[in-house]
Amino acid sequence: MVCIEKIYSVSALVGNGACNAKCDFCAGEYLRPEARESELYNKNFEAAIKLSARYGGWSLSLTSSGEPTCDPDALTKALEIYQKCEQQGAYFPNVNLFTNGILFGDSIFCNKYLDTWKELGLNNIAVSVHAVDEKEQAAIYGVESYPALEKIVDNIEKHGLGVRATLLLRKNGVDDSKTYEAAVKGLIDKRIDNITSWPVGNPDGTRTEDTPSRLGLLGIKMWLHRNAKMCHGHAWGGGVFDYKGNILRITDYVTKHNPRKDFVRQLVVFQDGTVAYSWIKEGALCMK
């Protein structure tokens, strides 16, 4: 029997599941019926933060079955819970909000919320990027227009928060070494210098028709090894690279929990209050 030695992070679903985009394939839709606040959720969210912090965790990710910024009060509430944990010693150096970025193009929205969220412990905003070109980005998100990425960066940095990109690897988009290199360079030109990528897929980790070919993905990994210096590997696969002073991270969308390993990539806090050792709940229950 193997004991858990390390729980690297916590990912929590936050808010009512509303979204301001209309993607053809929505990764969060299947979780939306659970999206409501409950005391059990708040209690287990707090317990998950404290558990991970005790097991050496260093990052908290706030996400949603929709777009978290569409329910800003729920985000504030989640960050208040985090701040309480932090004051009791459960501190994470990385507190990241995952977003489609649309509302961060609006400086009124940013002025209204970002100082409060920063005060409560948020330190980075990770914008999901399907295409560096804003017209293509708008088409994938199913919206009329998508804000200029430079504007998003300005609006966020003005409040002292960091901007990251989640550069999604998708067939016919960023799907091989050539398109990956072009996208990375395009994002760096737009002052986004911390970029995480993973191939899109099903919530259970299996491939979809949008997942890039295995050859394309291998090409991206080889490009990273040829052009960047590895800083550290992830126990679950992939790693972090230094590309001319910029951070490039490659990983998988989800990692299935393996009870024979002594680490957990992330505790996932679902909105029915369940905490699991991975996005795939089956065989990975931690708290109810």
Binding site for ligand SF4 (CB under 6 A): 19, 21-23, 26-28, 66-67, 100
Residue with Cβ nearer ligand SF4 (16 or 155)? 16
- Smallest gap, in angstroms, from Cβ of residue 23 to ligand SF4? 3
Residue with Cβ nearer ligand SF4 (7 or 21)? 21
Residue with Cβ nearer ligand SF4 (34 or 115)? 34
DSSP-derived pairing of the beta strands 162-169 and 263-264: unpaired
**What is the C-alpha to C-alpha distance for residues 255 and 123, in angstroms, rounded to an integer?**
25
**What is the C-alpha to C-alpha distance for residues 288 and 286, in angstroms, rounded to an integer?**
7
For residue 60, CA distances in Å to 46, 75, 170, 245 come to: 11, 13, 25, 24
Residue with Cβ nearer ligand SF4 (49 or 127)? 127
Residue with Cβ nearer ligand SF4 (29 or 252)? 29
What amino acid is encoded at 176 in this protein?
Answer: D
Cβ-contact 28, 65 below 8 angstroms? yes
**With 0-12 CB in 10 A as exposed, 13-18 as middle and 19+ as buried, what is 119?**
exposed
Q: Which residue has tokens 């965790």?
A: 57
- Smallest gap, in angstroms, from Cβ of residue 161 to ligand SF4? 20
- Smallest gap, in angstroms, from Cβ of residue 128 to ligand SF4? 7
What is the DSSP code string of 57-104? --EEEEE-SS-GGGSHHHHHHHHHHHHHHHHTT---SEEEEEE-SGGG
- Smallest gap, in angstroms, from Cβ of residue 18 to ligand SF4? 9
Of 225, 238, 163, which is closest to residue 198 (Cα–Cα)? Answer: 238
- Smallest gap, in angstroms, from Cβ of residue 32 to ligand SF4? 8
- Smallest gap, in angstroms, from Cβ of residue 70 to ligand SF4? 9
Residue with Cβ nearer ligand SF4 (67 or 134)? 67
Q: E strands within 149-237?
A: 162-169, 194-199, 229-233
**With 0-12 CB in 10 A as exposed, 13-18 as middle and 19+ as buried, what is 159?**
middle
Residue with Cβ nearer ligand SF4 (149 or 264)? 149
- Smallest gap, in angstroms, from Cβ of residue 271 to ligand SF4? 14
